[in-house]
Amino acid sequence: MPSPESPRGKAIADAAAAVIPGGVNSSTRYIGAPYAFVEADGAYLTDADGRRYLDYHAAFGAILLGHNAPVVNDAIRAALGGVDLTGIGVTEPEVRLAQRIVEVIPSAESMIATMSGSEATAQAIRLARGVTDRDLIIKFQGGFHGWHDAVARNVISTPEKAYGRDPLSKGILDQAVDATLIAEFNDLDSVSALFDAHRDRIAAVILEPIPHNVGALLPTQEFVEGLRKLTEQQGALLIFDEVITGFRHALGGYQQVIGVTPDLTTFGKGMANGFPVGGLAGRRDLMEHFNGQTGDVLMAGTFNGNPLGCAAALATIDYLAAHPDFYTRTHALGERMRTGLRGILAELGMQASVAGFGGVFAVYFLAGPALGYRDLLRNDHTAYVAFHRGMTERGFLMLPMSLKRNHISGSHTEEEVDRTLEAAREVLKTVR
């Protein structure tokens, strides 16, 4: 079990706090020990004090193949010394990446590159409003689509704020908050009611096909097909935010799994195994509004389509295309983990459920399955955090924050999953 002593890591964290607000560059990164990391390899991270952790956090899911995957690092090295940032015209890596995206994602007829998933969702929402000349969008309680004002509300809301007005930050204009309407996942009637209440004003519905930002709420086929039909009837766009589900669950994203094609798809994180790149793809007639010569929706960003990000993305996608066993293997390991956890919870007589898909898993500390956020209001958040904290203290890195999911990468093994289950049994005994 890793020692709680962390002199070097704590010193780095203290130095960071002197020059970085809160000591981290993204608000959810501060978790106490382990404070700082110095090495990454395969399924493991090593902290500043030499402790090695089996990593299930995977940078919020960005690490798909494993840390420092050779196939990706080799592509980056090969790209260095070639064309770098031009800020004008186009480069061959950008073209090849767009061609690859159009080949593998069902909804993609055209594609733009961004630097992050948040930028991709911001552009998708701007495009939806520009195309429809409507002002409102619908998101789902618990869904997270980035940091920008249009969607920074109602994620992990407390019971008294859920479905009401729950912005994530000060500094957001009231008009921006109020232009985003909140529905319940897996409840098509809640979406229909918003369309009825705001006729001819809703530009788009945006959703994570699996809301992984609150664990792993699995959609029903009826719900997703109903969203597709409803948005078409109402003249609104359907946007799949596949920043987490894209490339992780299938090469074509979760839309390939469920067989429903949205109008627009955003992606990021896993597409380049942790290197900074994201994108937005969709119907050509919609995407042509970004055309700088004939379009009417602004697309800008000096770093968009940078050669190194494109090289990393191409290497990752090409690897996945050439190794379909990646999916059979990570799905099997995910099922091994979920089945093992269910057995342990039954053995201990605990009221909890295990959720997930593919290589993603989460333990909800509540009775019965969870279909929507309303069910998650019954989750024991203290137990959730205690489980993740206990696992991390034993060398299995899981973000100690309620409703955060865990990821199995291409570098995990059966033996490591079994070791994780052994530790989980001991931790869950203490949680119980």
Residues 342-359 pLDDT 10s: 999 999 999 999 999 999
pLDDT higher than 50, residue 26: yes
Instruction: Give residue 104's Cα distance to chain centre.
Output: 19
Q: E strand or H helix at 423, and its extent?
A: helix 414-431
The string of pLDDT tens digits covering residues 212-224 is 999 999 999 999 9
What is residue 6's predicted lDDT score, i.e. its pLDDT? 79
Residue found under tokens 């919020």: 60
Mean pLDDT of 390-405: 96
Percent of the chain exceeding pLDDT 70 equals 99
Q: Decide if 250 contacts 259 (C-beta within 8 A).
A: no
The span from the CA of 56 to the CA of 273, in Å, is 14
What is residue 84's predicted lDDT score, i.e. its pLDDT? 86
pLDDT higher than 60, residue 241: yes
The span from the CA of 303 to the CA of 162, in Å, is 37
Give the closest residue to 144 by CA, choosing from 271, 26, 262, 292. 26
Q: Decide if 346 contacts 367 (C-beta within 8 A).
A: no
What is residue 1's predicted lDDT score, i.e. its pLDDT? 47
pLDDT higher than 90, residue 28: no
Res. 4 pLDDT band, cuts 50 70 90: low
Mean pLDDT of 375-386: 96
The span from the CA of 272 to the CA of 76, in Å, is 11
Instruction: Give residue 90's Cα distance to chain centre.
Output: 28
- Arithmetic mean of pLDDT over the chain: 95
Percent of the chain exceeding pLDDT 90 equals 90
- CATH topology (fold) of 70-322: Aspartate Aminotransferase; domain 2 (3.40.640)
- CATH C-level class of 7-68+324-431: alpha beta
pLDDT higher than 90, residue 32: no
What is residue 163's predicted lDDT score, i.e. its pLDDT? 95
Mean pLDDT of 302-316: 94
Give counts: helices (H), strands (E), the chain. 15, 14
Residues in the chain: 432
pLDDT higher than 90, residue 269: no
Res. 3 pLDDT band, cuts 50 70 90: low
Give the closest residue to 311 by CA, choosing from 94, 99, 112. 94
In the chain, domain spans: 7-68+324-431, 70-322
Pairing relation of β-strands 237-241 and 44-47? unpaired
